[in-house]
Structure 1
Amino acid sequence: MAKIPCALAMMLSVIAFAGLAGIVQGHTYKTGDCPTVEPMSGFSMKQFLGIWYVIQKTGTASTCVIYNITKSVDTPDEYFIEQISQKAPLSIAPIKHEYSYTGKLTVTDRDVPARMTVRFPLSVAGSAKFVVFMTDYDTYAGVFSCQKIPFGHRQSATLLSRTRDLDKIYVDKIRSRLSSYSVDPFDLSIVNQTGCPKEGEAGWNIHIDPDTFSTRNIANAFRKAGEAIGDGFEAAVNAGKKIYNKYRDGDNDEVEANVEETSNRSERLISDAEWLP
């Protein structure tokens, strides 16, 4: 079995991941138009900002998922939504890692601030609808995303909590509301929020944001493949987006890989990543 440097294997997986970004999970595919999910009336985005823990989410295998919603300092009707999870889509080694992915939320109608659009860097299908359909700001929230695609749409519903657990009365309340909008609550998966890593624990630290970069950095990353990577490295992939990868476990310099394993990793990219909040 041939061995390749860990950094090189990582880059191969990233490239495969970029190509699969439009078909990853975290949502379900449906025929027809997006269902009509009514935005919450009297919604206050200012009160909605901050940390939310994902309790249930459409079709995900990720754990410890957190949303951090912040205000843009440059644009009045623009916000950032950072999705953080313990699992990353770059499953090239059996080590713990944290993955974060930042998109932009835009209020398109100030009279209906709970109805927005969201766009994530690696979503090749473009922006999606993002609706906050219910929240009390302090305890729970329900959000729904939908994106029109050829021959149908893909949708994602998320139950949020200000803490790592949520009382069943609120869970049932949100799921019932989804059902009233013809959104199947049984498409949702329970997100494990126990045993989550603490800030600063060793492992991969992967961040993807909307910043622009050059494809030339891909070649730089491959040149780094032969270097010691215990001290970390930075690489960029998929022109127009930025990916930072830092490897903090200096013991593993190589991973075993062959063509069959590469195929298996591609499958894991599909099952582990999600680009609709």
Structure 2
Amino acid sequence: MMKCTILMSLILMFLAAAADGKRKRPEDKVKCPKVKSLRNFDLQQFLGNWYVIQYYASSEEALAYRCMQAEFTMSVPFIDVTMNFTYSFTDDPLNEQLLGNITWSIPNPAQPAHWSHSEDTYEGIYNTYVVDTDYSSWALLLHCAEKSKSPRYLSSFIMSRLPILGVNVISYLRDKLPRYDIDVRYMFDMSQNECDVPQAGIEIPPSLLGSRVQATSRKHPMKHDHGK
């Protein structure tokens, strides 16, 4: 009886160690995580305007952006998805709104929640997945770019049709991200306040304007660097 108990304990210890090892698998910093496309996704319902409520990028340890908003459109026939977006930098005293866009193709019409883009300025192959959405209120996007012999670029948007989103919904969406190697400690709140240009009622000292960093020399929220 004693031998059986010892043997059973050893088996349980082995299984626990194996499970722990599986949980602590080494993270692949080059390849994008495997993502299942959202089933029964209706792209037509997803189109339109969204506010980015929280933002993550693997290359950043602090939030550099504010007032990020996106508009999704689709070509006819239904081949391409385009995101036109606006944003400004958190430390820009002028709160200048900058413009950007990216267009993806849909590799498999049967999986319209997966979009793919290939262009050097977007760091090689750039895949985007709609991880979850209810269409009318909230959505979760995952972006991942792979480039040969370079670390991947991983980013994610929690989005809302309104400038605010409920805490419970945000928590629900954040809980989905760790499985895709996203550290939610670096999933930052995106301010959607005072997004008019310029900020109303603010007098900016000339010295501050003189030290203002030009946007073209700074990081782009969907790329590693401007113009590269």
How far residue 191 of structure 1 moved from its aligned partner, in angstroms, is: 0.4
Q: How many aligned residue pairs are there?
A: 183
What SS does structure 1 have at the residue aligned with 2:185?
Answer: helix
1:100 is matched with: 99
1:83 is matched with: 85
8 A contact 1:61–1:191 mirrored in 2: no
1:174 is matched with: 173
8 A contact 2:95–2:195 mirrored in 1: no
Q: CA RMSD in A?
A: 3.0
Normalised to the residue count of structure 1, the TM-score between the two structures is 0.58
Normalised to the residue count of structure 2, the TM-score between the two structures is 0.70
157-166 vs 57-66, greater mean Cα deviation: 57-66
2:39 is matched with: 41
- Given the alignment, which residue of 57, 66, 70 partners 2:69? 66
Q: 1:33 to 1:46 in 2, by over 3 A?
A: same
CA distance in 2, matches of 1:88, 1:97: 10
What SS does structure 2 have at the residue aligned with 1:186?
Answer: helix
CA distance in 2, matches of 1:192, 1:268: 22
What SS does structure 1 have at the residue aligned with 2:174?
Answer: helix
Q: 1:120 to 1:68 in 2, by over 3 A?
A: farther
Name the amino acid aligned to 1:142.
Answer: L
8 A contact 1:88–1:99 mirrored in 2: no
Deviations 1:15-58 (A, max 9, x none): xxxxxxxxxxxxxxx72311112221110110000001001111
Choose between structure 1 and 2 for higher RCO, CA contacts under 8 A separated by at least 6 residues: 1
Gaps of 5+ in 2: 1-27, 200-205, 224-228
CA distance in 2, matches of 1:83, 1:265: 21
CA distance in 2, matches of 1:64, 1:121: 27
Deviations 1:178-203 (A, max 9, x none): 12333222221110111221xxx469
Deviations 1:158-214 (A, max 9, x none): 1011100110111111111112333222221110111221xxx469xxxxxxxxxxx
How far residue 72 of structure 1 moved from its aligned partner, in angstroms, is: 2.0
8 A contact 1:103–1:119 mirrored in 2: no
Higher Rg of the two aligned structures: 2
CA distance in 1, matches of 2:184, 2:155: 10
Name the amino acid aligned to 1:160.
Answer: M
Between the two proteins, what is the percent identity of the paired residues? 21
Name the amino acid aligned to 1:155.
Answer: L
CA distance in 1, matches of 2:216, 2:186: 20
1:156 is matched with: 155
